[in-house]
Structures are given as C-alpha cells and as structure tokens.
A and B are shown apart, each in its own frame.
Chain A
Amino acid sequence: MLRTAGLGSLAAATGAIASRARAADVTTDPRLHHHHAMGAVGRVDTSRFDPTAYLRSFNFSHLPPAERVRFYRETQREDGSLLREYEIFAVDREIEIAPGIYFPAWTFNGQVPGPTLRASVGDRVRVHFVNQGSHPHTIHFHGWHPPEMDGSLPEHQVAPGGEFLYEFDAEPYGLHLYHCHAIPLKRHVHKGLYGVFLVDPQPPRPPADEMVMVMNAFDTNFDGDNEVYAVNTVGFHHMVEPIQVEVGELVRIHLVNITEFDLVNSLHLHAMFFDVYRTGTRLETAEKTDTLMLCQGERAILETTFRYPGRFMFHAHQSEFAELGWMGFFDATAS
C-alpha cells in the first residue's frame, strides 16, 4: 500500500531526526509500522471486474458503444419517456474478493454487484433475463410493479436454461435494489445476485459527480459469518486505488446495504458531513451527518462537497467491518 509505506517512512524519518544516535534502531524497529500494517497483502486482478469502473457505470456506460448495445438499448416513446431494454443473465463465476481470495459467486452478467440499471421516473423498463446458472434464479425489483413481475413466488422461478421478460414502469423515483429471490434466499443473495436499480426524478437532481457504493460482504468458509467486507465487492480496493474527486464539486453517493448475516452496516466519512436522502424518494434532505447506518436492503443518497484537497478516509463505523476490508480513501484535488 502506497499510503502505508509513505506514513511509515515519514515516521521513521522523524524518529531519526529526533534521535540521531539511535537512528538505526528507529528505522528498523517494525513497531513503528504496526499501526499501518493493517490491510490485505497484494493486489486484486481488476481485469475481470474493476470496482473503480463499476463506481460510475450506469446502464453499462463503462462499455464501448458497440458492446454496450448488446446489453442496453433505449427507444423514445410517444409521450417523450424512454423504453429501456436490458439483457441480464445469471451465471456462476469465481470472483476475487480480496487479494488471492476467490469466492464461488453467482452473478448477474458475471459481476458482483450486478450492472447498475438507471431510468427516469415514468420510463418503461424491459429486462430480458436468461438463467445460465446452475440453480433456479429470479430478478426481484424493488419499486411499483404488478405481482406477476415480482420474481419472488414459486411460479416465478426461472430454471437453469430458462428465461423471463420483466416489464414495468419505473416508479417511484429513488434509489432501489434488484436481487434474486429464489430460495434459499439468504444464499442466493449472499452468493452475489444483487444490483442497484436507480430511478431519477423528473426533472432530475442537480448535476454531480455520481457514484454507486454497494456495501456487501462474503462468507468464504460458509459458517454464517462474513470473512470479507467491502464497498463494491473488493476488500480494501479504494485503500490502494482512492476514489478521485474534485474540490468544490457536488458529489452524490448512492449508498446501498446488501450485507448478509450482519443486521446493519454503515458509512462514516472522515473530516466531512453529508446530506442524507433516505431511499432517494424525497428531494429535500432531512438529515446532515457524517455517519449513516443502514439495515439489510436499506438505501440512501448522500450529497457532499469536498472543501479541502487531500485524502479522506471512509469506512464502516463497525470497526470490525472496516478492518475486514470495508474501508477506503477519497482523493480530492483542486482543479
């Protein structure tokens, strides 16, 4: 970790100046490094899934246009709203959730979390779902829709090799979820079948640097307790690759909690405060805080503006989760 090495050698250098006679002891005494030795060793291969790219990818926007059209198409409708069509498939895939730790995941489109789907309120959403996995799966959307589109009842299960067309109007506006609702539910969710379904109000919220943070966790030894915690799957990812933001620009974080086994999760942002829009279903904020707790399945939109350049730590305020991977840095630069 760059940060670790930097602080460690700075401390060593300071010690050396303070006590020249014992300079050798100071630079070699590993106790100076103790407090910065926390974290995973090594780097995750991000060529298959890059959490930094996922952060700001909406409707497959991280793909080149020719490839994107295979998964996402939008068509203008008579009333001015859009028909948004998605190709979503469930597939078993081994993913790397921390350096060297591989998890036998069940995924939407080969990634955890699944692709972020984004519509404006009143748009028509049509999701063509194909189950290429080894177990029955569904897509259960949060939002208004008729019961046959709910993907939760026994008759809604899509068998391996089967497919289904989910279709409904995007409403209400807000920050929603989609996830598999096949049983056993707990396993289908914690194996990785979830993603974010974002519905924008009309007119939309003010322009901002927008990002999605899904607080998730993995029980790698299947003992009902998580071994790795993260935002967007890869533990400690934003410790080694801080999220780049601009000083003075509005930052909008779409924060979703899909952690299994632990009742709540939280986000704490250092040295700053943010406005909270719970579930994103109101345009006025009712809360300003620096620590927000969310239950399983709960969501909130957070807005803030960085005042100072530099690094700002963010992590779960459950210290245990933080030290098991759920922590990272913002790196704010003045333009």
Chain B
Amino acid sequence: MSERPPSTAPAPPRTGGVRVWILFLLPLVLVAGLVWIVVASDPAARLRGDLPPVEELAFQRVELRDTGIVATVLNDGPDPVTIAQVMVDDAYWAFVQEPLGPLSHLASVRLSIPYPWVENETHVIRLVTSSGLTFDHEIAVARETPRPSWQFFAWFALIGLYVGVIPVAVGLLWYPAIGRVGRRGLDFVLALTVGLLIFLFVDTVEDGLEAAGGLAASFQGTVLFTLVALLAFLAIEAFGERLAHGLEGRGGRARRQPEPGEAAPGPGADRGPLVTSLLIAVGIGLHNFGEGLAIGAAYSLGEVTLGALLIVGFTLHNTTEGLAIVAPLAESRAALSHLVLVGMVAGAPTIAGAWLGGLVYSPLWSVVFLAIAAGAIAQVVILIGRQMTRERQLGTLVASRPVMAGLVAGFAVMYATGLLV
C-alpha cells in the first residue's frame, strides 16, 4: 500500500458508501460466477470418465438393544451411496433403514438390525453397497447400551462423582498443607501443578487428535481440533481478563495485599490467586468434561467393559487435579465456599460429559470438546507460569531445584496413575 504524503493533508476519503460496497462485493460476484461455470461444465467429470463412484460410509453410533443392533451411518464420500444389504458376523441379516433411499453426501441413516447379539462377545457389522463395496464396524465387547432412563442418569452421575467430583475434592484437601510449605515448597507445588497440566495437555491433544482421525474425512478433524483449541485458549484468556477486572472492580475481596518490598503487579499480570485457581478449575473442568464424554462414549459404542476400566484409572488420575487447583491459593485465605465452587467447576462437568457422551455420542462433538479442553489447559499452564515469573526470570526459575523437582514429580505422578487408565 502506498502511503499518503502527509504534506497535502486533503480531506480524508469518504468511508462506506455504495462504491465501497460494490468494490468489496465485486470479487465475490466473480467467484460466484466461477463456481457456477465449474458446476455447470463439471471439468472433473471429464477427467474421471466412467470410473465407478467413490463410496465412503462412516459409522457414527452403534447401540445394542434387546431388540438388536441400531447403527447410525454417514455418507462420507462425494457420491451418493445405496446400502444394499447388511451382514452381521458374515451372515446377511434383515434390517430396516430410516430414512429409505440412497445417502447423499454427508447424509446419515439409522439401520435397525434385529440380530441376536451375544453378551461379552465380539460382533462385526458389514454394510454392502449396491456396487458391492463393504464397510465394517467392530463391536469389541457387546453389552446393552444404556437407555435414557432415570437409572441411566443416576448411574452416570455416580460415575461422574467417582471420576470427577470426589477425586478433585480429595485433592482440594491438600489446601491447608500447602499454606504451610513456605516459598520453596510453594514453588515445588506450583511446578508440580504445571507438570500435571502439561501431562494432561499432551494427553488431551493425543485423545483429541485420535478422535479427529476417526472422524469422517469431510469433517477435517485435525484442522477442526487445532482451531477450536486455539479459539478456546483465546476465549478463556479474555474471560480471565474480564474476571480479574470484575473482581478488582468489586474491591477484590479475596485479594492478597502486596507485602512490603514486593513489586507492584503490572496491569493484568496478576489476576489474584482466586481467579487463577478458578481458571485452573475451568480448564480442568473442560478436560474432565472430555473425560466424561470418553466414558459415556465407551458405553454408547457398546464397549461397556472397557468403560469400567477407564473409571478406575480416571479416579486415581484426577485426585492430583485438586492439588493443581489449590496450589495458587497457598498464600491466600480462600473461603470454604470458594473451594466448593472450584471443586464443582472442575469435577461436575464429568457428570455432564458422561450424560452427553452416553446419550448423544457423536465423534464430531468429542473432537470439539477435547479441543476446548486442550486450549483451556494450555491457557492455565501459561497463567500459572505468569504468576511464578512475576518476580523472577523464567530461566532462573526453571533452573531452581524445587521447580525442576516439581515438574518432574508432576509428570511422574500423572504417568504412574496414567498406567492404570
């Protein structure tokens, strides 16, 4: 862009107006015209000749009921697909498709298959299209899929309590001890928290990318995961900013007074331990929501036994999350109500996640929620990092013994409990 010579100083050009709109819309009109030409002439079709259509089917959800198997299937390819027959365990089986007819791009149907599946055994569903291509789905361990009854909600609430709320609450009980560990001890605990969170971040990214890989290709899972994670990071950053200002505006009830000789915190750099702990709780809560989804999804995908194994692992794993939340509160006096609040924010989403995962599991939403969790955790890591580097250089801080020991301990604890998952 050329710079306007400052000496002439003419009247600034009129902004807005019809001309600007026309100039702005012209390229869009041209692109629309190009799209019309491409669709009308279909140059790709000439290249393709009479090659057979590209058929791609993806299983979205498989439920096991006492009446048989109900599968939701999505057309993940560009061309229409007709499901001609359904096999279960190498036998053609009766099925009802709703709605009837071929599946257009990204359309999905429900297949009800009255198959007498066998509890605890493996079954393979195979769809045969009109052109004879086959698409398989394996039910690793067959168990009846929970139905949305009050028992279902109660059962998942209980699982959520075991996995999310209770472990986090138990972890919060470290709060009184943390207040008495001194500066070096606090460094250790905060570094431990960062270690835990980095582990959780990697874990969440791995789960999210794995789920993204399992998505129908049309949904572009990896890009979706990355961008949602980035947006979540920025959104929580902005949320934290507003929260800090809000608390300051109301007098920062729980804010710790700066001690004599301590550097005055820069604007926005110190959000106060309560805000920090709340933001950590939000991040962990989102992560636990993702874990709840995973547990619920294991049930909804007919892998109930695997789900039970997950529960034990998550319970032990998540106890350390409570520690991460209370670590920033070490030098402040937090009210019991605040502890209950952060505990619920971090733990309760597990229940909601399990409900959602069990009821309306969709691989797409799993990716979205795991991405939000990854963004949230990354934001929390940076938040604690800011708090710790408020008075010290990052280099000297990381090189200090308590910090290094804390980081290593954080990784080690998560790794050891992760072995159980």
Contacts and interface: CB of A to CB of B under 8 A. Distances in A.
A100 B101 CA distance: 11
B218 interface: no
B131 interface: yes
Contact of A101 (B67, B68, B95, B128): B128
In this complex, the member of B67, B84, B116 whose beta carbon has the largest number of chain A beta carbons within 10 angstroms is: B84
Interface in B38-87: 66-68, 82, 84-87
Nearest to B129: A101
Interface stretch (A34-42, A67-75, A190-198, A203-211): A34-42
A270 interface: no
A178 B116 CA distance: 42
A236 B90 CA distance: 14
A297 interface: no
Contact of A37 (B94, B128, B129, B134): B94
A323 B84 CA distance: 16
B79 to A, nearest CB: 15
Contact of A30 (B67, B129, B131): B67
B389 interface: no
A102 interface: yes
- For the residues of B in contact with A, the DSSP-based class is loop
A227 B128 CA distance: 9
B5 interface: no
Contacts of B115: 34, 37
Given A33-B114, A100-B130, A236 B66 contact: no
B66 A31 contact: yes
A324 B90 CA distance: 7
Nearest to B134: A221
Contacts of B114: 30-31, 33-34, 37
Contacts of A99: 84-85
A41 B85 contact: yes
B66 A101 contact: no
B133 interface: yes
B92 A39 contact: yes
Interface in A124-139: none
B91 interface: yes
A102 B132 contact: yes
Contacts of A40: 85, 92
- For the residues of A in contact with B, the DSSP-based class is loop
Contacts of B129: 101
B219 interface: no
A279 interface: no
Contact of B95 (A29, A34, A41, A221): A41
A58 interface: no
Contacts of A103: 132
Contacts of A220: 128, 131-134
Given A37-B115, A325-B92, A100 B66 contact: no
Contacts of B93: 37-39
A213 interface: no
Interface string B119-130: 000000000111
A236 to B, nearest CB: 7
A141 interface: no
B132 A227 contact: yes
A273 B102 CA distance: 45
A7 to B, nearest CB: 13
Contacts of B131: 102, 220
Interface string B121-157: 0000000111111100000000000000000000000
A298 B57 CA distance: 39
A218 interface: yes
A98 B130 CA distance: 9
B104 to A, nearest CB: 17
Nearest to A236: B92
Nearest to B126: A227
Nearest to A101: B84
Nearest to A321: B90
Contacts of A38: 91-94
Nearest to A4: B94
Nearest to A323: B91
A151 interface: no
Nearest to B90: A320
Interface in A292-320: 320
Given A30-B68, A41-B95, A221-B134, A100 B90 contact: no
Contact of A324 (B82, B84, B86, B91): B91
Contacts of A325: 92
A235 interface: yes
Contacts of A101: 84-85, 128-130, 132
A29 B93 CA distance: 18
A34 B116 contact: yes
B147 to A, nearest CB: 16
B118 to A, nearest CB: 11
Nearest to A322: B91
Interface string A98-119: 1111110000000000000000
B130 A102 contact: yes
B109 to A, nearest CB: 14
Contacts of A39: 92-94
A38 B113 CA distance: 10
Interface in A34-93: 34-35, 37-41
7 pairs of A and B residues whose beta carbons are closest in the complex: A220-B132, A100-B84, A323-B91, A37-B94, A34-B116, A30-B67, A101-B84
15 contacts: A4-B94, A30-B114, A31-B114, A31-B116, A33-B114, A39-B92, A41-B86, A98-B128, A103-B132, A221-B133, A221-B134, A227-B132, A227-B134, A235-B92, A320-B90
Given A29-B67, A220-B131, A235-B92, 6 more contacts: A38-B92, A39-B93, A40-B92, A102-B132, A320-B90, A324-B92
